[in-house]
Structure 1
Amino acid sequence: MQNVHIGTMGWSYKFWKKSFYPNDLDSSKYLNYYASQFDTVEVNNTFYRIPNEKTVLAWKEQTPPNFIFSLKFPRKITHFKMLTNSEEDTSVFLKRVSLLKEKLGPLLIQFPYNFTEEKLPKLQEFLKILPKKYSYAVEVRNKKLLNDKLFSILKEHNVALAWANHPFLPLVEEITANFLYIRWEGNRKTVNGTLGKTEVDKSESIKIWANKIATHMGSRRIFGYFSKYFSGNPTKDIKEILNTI
């Protein structure tokens, strides 16, 4: 399935030992092992800080040629500044992650609840100045933003609306780009996520999602990422959905 890339949100979890990582595997080898099993990952720690060059190059070196990194935009840009006066930070971030070269996948621009419709003109301006050589996805946490105004802006710039399987938001399957970006979030109130095992049976949900992916995989690339809060066992979820498609 050349067009389908399914991974997890992060890989550096010691509680995955035994259930995924060999018990004697050093944590410095986690990414290398992960990349031997799956072909993509969503990097969450870029949300908290822009990684240094050494870190980005290490990610590149520890993974095979076909591996793809999707990375979150830093919260300094999306949450603290909310895109205002963020040109320099954005430039630094893009320059840094460009070191991944062909392994750089979609970049996730994730907004907080208080990013509201009044800020859509700022999003329009921001997307205009982003380099077109990269792919971008947008995720919003305010359901009032899930409307035609947002969709129109995203379509204009070929930016994907993230299909967020979030417990407190409606699932909106609007196609706004030439690829799909899916995030299986799960419910942190019912799933611990750090037990290293399946806590909630998501088999039926995975079957439904496998059918959705099968419908679109012939016409566009699909990137999807499981949170540790979906079933509690994201590496198992990946294998299950890939075996079901």
Structure 2
Amino acid sequence: MRFGTSAFTAAGWPGTFYPQGMKPADYLSFYAQHFDTVEVDSTYYATPSVRTVQGWDAKTPPGFLFAAKVPQSVTHEKILAGCDDEFKEFVERMQMLGQKLGVLLLQLPYFNAATFAKGDDFLQRLEPFIKKLPEGVRFALEIRNKHWLTQRLFDLLRSRGVALALIDHPWMPRPAELAARGDVVTADFCYVRFLGDRKAIEERTKIWNQTIVDRRVELSEWAKVCYQVKSRGVTIFAYANNHYAGHGPATVRLFQELWSDQEKSVRDPLTIDDA
């Protein structure tokens, strides 16, 4: 089980998570003393430089794992077609991390009918891209249209060992509803993201220094489901966004606490079908 935050810098973290006065250059090293993985958000905007990737490697200990978003040029602008060169460059750049490379996330937007009239049209675009994914790299796919969570999608992802990203987001099903749709574990790892309602929380704050939304009930539900998935021998990566509750590090700590409680209370192996 890997716990971390989405990004390792944010307004409000200095003085709450990071010691006041700490230099930003020291943030990642400090972060890696508390969590064993991070989801890098900056790669969404552009492929990182060689120097940047080397810096990430140098500032983290052996065993630390990086997840990273695939650039928006691939997922949002070209939408998985005609993007071979930039995608290849990104993957190869991230492979410089060696054993510290965890998962590469294909985060797709909510596509309206003007882009894809129906889910089958989307799958026709997705399938050739998935089939060309390089071996030896973990990939996760995030979609934000609950109607596209079909057995055909699950089978396609499973055929290449790509994880369906399970997200806590107002547009998407709760864990129990997800489980009712079929076996949503499509790889030998599971990728979970606590995202929340960005618009709603930004009406209350844009400084991410404290928890302002109580997510204990939701996280307890996720802890149960994640424990059930883990009992199948699946590695789990779980990341908390600031927009979920107000302060990513606090969300991770709460989830770790609930995860520990779940491990203590559950004695018999379960499957996600029991959720």
Band of TM-score, shorter chain: over 0.9
Residue 180 of structure 1 is matched in structure 2 by: 190
Q: How many angstroms apart in 1 are the aligned matches of 2:79 and 2:134?
A: 19
Judge conservation of contact 1:194–1:228 (CA < 8 Å) in 2. no
Letter in 2 for 1:25: M
- Residue 194 of structure 1 corresponds to 207
The one-letter code sitting in structure 2 at the alignment partner of 1:107 is L
2:48 to 42, 46, 51: 51
Deviation, 1:193, is 4.9
Tell me, yes or no, if the aligned pair for 1:163 and 1:182 is still in contact at 8 Å: yes
Contact 2:10 2:208 in 1 (8 A): no
Counterpart Cα distance in 2 of 1:141 and 1:85? 22
Tell me, in whole angstroms, the C-alpha distance in 2 between the residues paired with 1:134 and 1:211.
28
Q: Which amino acid aligns with 1:181?
A: Y
State the secondary structure of the residue aligned to 1:31: helix
Pairs aligned (count): 242
Matched, 1:91 2:88: yes
1:195 deviation in Å? 3.6
Per-residue CA deviations over 1:148-181 (Å, capped at 9, x if unaligned) read: 2211111111111100110122243411111110
150-159 or 109-118: bigger deviation: 109-118
The match for 2:15 is: 18
Q: 1:141 maps to what in 2?
A: 144
Structure 2 CA distance for aligned equivalents of residues 223 and 195 of structure 1: 22
**Structure 2 unaligned regions, length at least 5:** 260-275
> Deviation digits for residues 189-234 of structure 1, max 9, x if unmatched?
3323524001111122222222222222231100010010111121
Measure how far apart 1:14 and its partner are. Answer: 4.0
Provide the secondary structure at the position in 1 that maps to 2:32: helix
2:106 aligned counterpart, secondary structure: strand
Q: Matched residue of 2:55: which SS?
A: helix
Equivalent of residue 101 in structure 1, options 98, 103, 114: 98
Quick check: 1:5 aligned with 2:2? yes
How is 1:103-182 mapped onto 2 (pairs within 5 angstroms)? 103-114=100-111, 116=116, 117=119, 118-171=121-174, 172-173=178-179, 174-182=184-192
Match of 1:234 in 2: 248
Aligned to 1:223: 237
Mean CA deviation greater in 9-18 or 95-104: 9-18
The separation in 2 between residues aligned to 1:90 and 1:187, in whole angstroms, is 29
Give the secondary structure class of the aligned counterpart of 1:170. Answer: coil
Distance 1:165 1:122 in 2: 25
Q: What stretches of structure 1 of length at least 5 have no aligned partner?
A: none
Q: How far apart, CA to CA, are the structure 2 residues paired with 1:61 and 1:179?
A: 26
**Which structure would you say has the larger Rg?**
2
In 1, Cα distance between equivalents of 2:37 and 2:78: 29
Q: TM-score, normalised by structure 2?
A: 0.84
Aligned residues of 1:14 and 1:27 also touching (Cα < 8 A): no
| Counterpart secondary structure, 1:189 | helix
Q: Secondary structure at the match of 1:169?
A: coil
Q: Distance in 2 between matches of 1:111 and 1:241?
A: 25
What secondary structure is seen at the aligned counterpart in 2 of 1:196?
coil
d(CA) in 1 for partners of 2:100 and 2:257?
24
